[in-house]
Structure 1
């Protein structure tokens, strides 16, 4: 039997959770996520961008998110992020704002705007807390009163889910996250004991793992994601190196100026100051004039 693919790959995640035939899988996952936030369960969702054959890794600029609408008209966006692209909070707000503002056509009333919920499943730690599920709303700082309920941001940070965490027998979001994190198959039976719909997600993962075309597309996407992450890390490392080098140069320049000023105050000859500080005689003359 073929080795199981990683369901955290955004291409594979959308195949499992964002296809019409697995709409019940997405609904069950959303309800477990919302239950932890104290929200009532959804009864129905409509996929706005269901998986199609066009959702392939060949389009390197594609964002393989999942967008859905509830029966009440609220919009939900779910995105799997395997690698840290940095500026997560700004990126989240940017895509939330596009989802929110995109509801209106020109000339329509703001009253038509519906609540938008963003759910980011992160394969890296992001927030300075220990909880794996964090929820944000727009609230007044001191009293906590809500300004408006239209914004809701969820961050599910998988690294904060203890590796020793065991399936929750009464069901819950932890079971879904353990599946996504790649818990061993011998845990699957316990995971599905009180999460029957999770079995369908597992079956889909097993099927895709044995499908040659799905594996090829998965590997294409995995390579792109790794390359993208490497380029980001490389750019950050280069920027840090330049910053450190700039800091060293600035420190040396400051030290040279301090030496020159002290020697000028002592009436030392400009040529000697230039030799001692490393500054040019022109620089020292200019410094003397400024003093």
Structure 2
């Protein structure tokens, strides 16, 4: 029986790019995303945290990113994030820095550090001030001069990706992750007619056709839905609390202003009385009559 499978669900995502049997897919994906920014195409990788279906699907706290080392000893991290939260940018930067720093062991010099690349596929929009779907962030100055060419962070916002004319391998992968759940393996569109996409669809079919794998996929999907619901609820509570704090602050400020105006009222009245008295007081030497000319 065929079931639609979303490649963005973390267990499917990691099976696609983190399984030893799909090592060729990972290499192709990395070259598709990073190709123009690499000194040479990647031809070999070691998956540092390979996907294990039993361990992953039975553990709700499984690590869902994919980490790999290529032939130049460069490190790669690939992660899917379906729900955006206010701390995500800090988390993205921290995990890149943590992976970069993990290269040095006791007694090693800084010369041992190698470029580190982080790729994040995002299910929701993160950068509201840009309509572009692809972003790369590296250490550069205002003139775009690199401080050190040691990789960076690539963000791919799937919701902003809109094209039916696939021209690059990067676009092929992004369309697969965005629309993969709606694809029919028996009648694939022309843009899916490549060896890599065929292999990717075979991975989806594994989750679709094997009942045990599919039920585990469903359980994982339901768990992630619950987590997203909880996170959204907490975010709504946070927004409501901030609005209540802002309202309370406005009311407090209004009360303080009213008290200040009340305290200032007697002094203002005395000032106005004095002003009126000064306006009605005769000028010096003026006895109220014009005198004789």
TM (norm. structure 2) is 0.83
Structure-2 change in CA distance of 1:60 and 1:180 (3 Å): same
The one-character-per-residue Cα deviations of 1:90-125 (angstroms, maximum 9, x if unpaired) are: 111111111111112222111111111000011111
Unaligned regions of 5+ residues in structure 2, if any?
268-293
- Partner residue, 2:24: 24
The structural deviation recorded for 1:171 is 4.3
Q: Distance in 1 between matches of 2:122 and 2:150?
A: 23
Q: Does 1:182 pair with 2:179?
A: yes
The structural deviation recorded for 1:167 is 4.5
Secondary structure of 1:80's aligned partner: strand
Q: Which runs of 4+ in 1 moved over 4 A?
A: 36-39
Q: Distance in 2 between matches of 1:213 and 1:39?
A: 43
Secondary structure of 2:107's aligned partner: coil
- Partner residue, 2:137: 136
Q: Distance in 2 between matches of 1:6 and 1:84?
A: 18
The structural deviation recorded for 1:238 is 1.2
Q: Does 1:13 pair with 2:13?
A: yes
Structure-2 change in CA distance of 1:18 and 1:167 (3 Å): farther
The structural deviation recorded for 1:57 is 3.8
- Partner residue, 1:230: 229
The structural deviation recorded for 1:266 is 2.9
Secondary structure of 1:149's aligned partner: coil
Alignment of 1:150-165 (within 5 A): 150-162=150-162, 165=163
Q: Indicate the RMSD between aligned Cα atoms, in angstroms.
A: 2.0
Q: Does 1:79 pair with 2:79?
A: yes
- Partner residue, 2:287: none
- Partner residue, 1:247: 246
The one-character-per-residue Cα deviations of 1:144-192 (angstroms, maximum 9, x if unpaired) are: 2111111311111100111xx2142x54211111111125436734123
Q: Distance in 2 between matches of 1:156 and 1:37?
A: 15
Q: Does 1:220 pair with 2:193?
A: no
Unaligned regions of 5+ residues in structure 1, if any?
269-291
Structure-2 change in CA distance of 1:110 and 1:21 (3 Å): same
- Kept in 2, the 8 Å contact 1:96–1:116? The answer is yes
Structure-2 change in CA distance of 1:32 and 1:61 (3 Å): same
- Kept in 1, the 8 Å contact 2:207–2:217? The answer is no
Q: Distance in 2 between matches of 1:97 and 1:220?
A: 33
Q: Does 1:166 pair with 2:164?
A: yes
The structural deviation recorded for 1:217 is 2.1
- Kept in 2, the 8 Å contact 1:134–1:155? The answer is yes
Q: Does 1:202 pair with 2:213?
A: no
Structure-2 change in CA distance of 1:167 and 1:176 (3 Å): farther
- Partner residue, 2:35: 35
